[in-house]
Amino acid sequence: MRTGVFGWLLLALLGCGAASAAKLNVVATLPDYGSIAEAVGGDKVQVTSLVRGTEDPHFVDARPSLVRSLNKADLLVEGGADLEVGWLPTLVSGARNARILADAPGHVLLSRGIRMRDVPTGPVDRSMGDVHPAGNPHFNLDPANGRDMAASIVAALSRLDPANASAYQSNARQFTERLGVKLAEWTNSLAPYRGTKVVTYHKSFDYLLERFGFELVGTIEPKPGIEPSPTHINALIPRMKAAGVKLILSEPNRPRKTPAQLAEATGAKVVLLPGLVGGVPEATNYIALFDYDVRQLLDALKAP
């Protein structure tokens, strides 16, 4: 009787193992990376994203359930540049999964394939706030980087699953083509507004602004990751007025009081832009995220 139960249990466990072996188990930190992995991997992969789109990716809880996800992963896709430094290392060391470690084939560091912005040229210390020595880690917000991220992921998938390499490459080609068409569309629709002056909450939209030719006048945070002080806000208001700032960009999860105050004082408009896939229900995937963000920008810019 006892052996029977154990036998069934064992069979069930083996069954689980067989079912998961059929698909590559991809774990991405940001849902953006996960979305691209889904587009590239198609039906050959099972993708899990550790960060929820509504969260601050710098401050994610290292929940034990994430250890379990990493334990079963064939491929870990992380952004790097210190984005996940506060929570991923402890998860990875607890996951006891050699497939996703250090020089293992199942590890992708996306920032390696990206031209990083804001790489400090001089020495960095924490009096400058949360400055990342490897550069600004919010590179997912330049849609053109989607191609590079897809390339990194397709290389890893092909390495792990050479039998399906051509399928991954053809998926990636389709994805980059679609992204290219979309990018042209977004660029065209925002072209009349190039040079628009904006203020952002955190230094998280720099890649997006560069792509569409918006000009960053300042940030609500005096330094990256440092809470705004009244002194800083009082200095920011005349600067915004002098520069003619039209928009204040912030993620929906950030505090809304200070942006609202600034908007009232300067006449600029607050635009809530999700910085990650899943940040709003409409941002269901990487392309939908920019569709949403561009629409939000256009709505704000077109309105009288």
Partner 1 sequence: MRGVPRRIPSQMKILRRGLSSALCLAALAIQAQETKEIEQIRKEIQEATDAFQKAADQFQKTTDSLKKRLDQLQGTNVPAAAETKLPPSPAPAADARTNALAGSSPAWSPADPIRVVGNAQNYLNLSFDALFAAGWSTEPDVESLQLGGHDPLQRGFTVQNLEMTLQGQVDPYFRGQASIIFQIDPEGETGVEAEEAYLESMSLPANLQLRAGQYFTEFGRLNPTHPHTWDFVDQPLVNGRFLGGDGLRNPGARLSWLAPTPFYSELFVSMQNSQGETAHSFRNDHEGEVFFGRPATETHVKGFGDMLYAPRYAASFDLNDENTLVTGASAAFGPNSSGGSTDTQIYGLDLFYKWKPRNQSKGWPFVTWQTEWMYRRYEAGAFAGDVDNPAQPSEVLRDWGIYSQISYGFRRGWVGSLRGDYVTGDEAALDPDPDRDRRWRLSPALTFFPTEFSKIRLQYNLDDRREEGVDHSIWIQFEFLLGAHAAHKF
Q: To the nearest whole angstrom, how small is the minimum distance from the Cβ of residue 304 to partner 1?
A: 27
- Cβ closest to partner 1, residue 47 vs residue 179: 179
Phi, psi of 202 (to 5 degrees): -115, 165
Q: To the nearest whole angstrom, how small is the minimum distance from the Cβ of residue 95 to partner 1?
A: 8
Q: To the nearest whole angstrom, how small is the minimum distance from the Cβ of residue 135 to partner 1?
A: 9
Q: To the nearest whole angstrom, how small is the minimum distance from the Cβ of residue 158 to partner 1?
A: 7
- Cβ closest to partner 1, residue 4 vs residue 103: 103
Q: To the nearest whole angstrom, how small is the minimum distance from the Cβ of residue 30 to partner 1?
A: 15
- Cβ closest to partner 1, residue 162 vs residue 304: 162
Q: To the nearest whole angstrom, how small is the minimum distance from the Cβ of residue 292 to partner 1?
A: 16
- Cβ closest to partner 1, residue 164 vs residue 176: 176
- Cβ closest to partner 1, residue 196 vs residue 219: 219
- Cβ closest to partner 1, residue 26 vs residue 304: 26
As a whole number of angstroms, the distance between CA 214 and CA 134 comes to 24
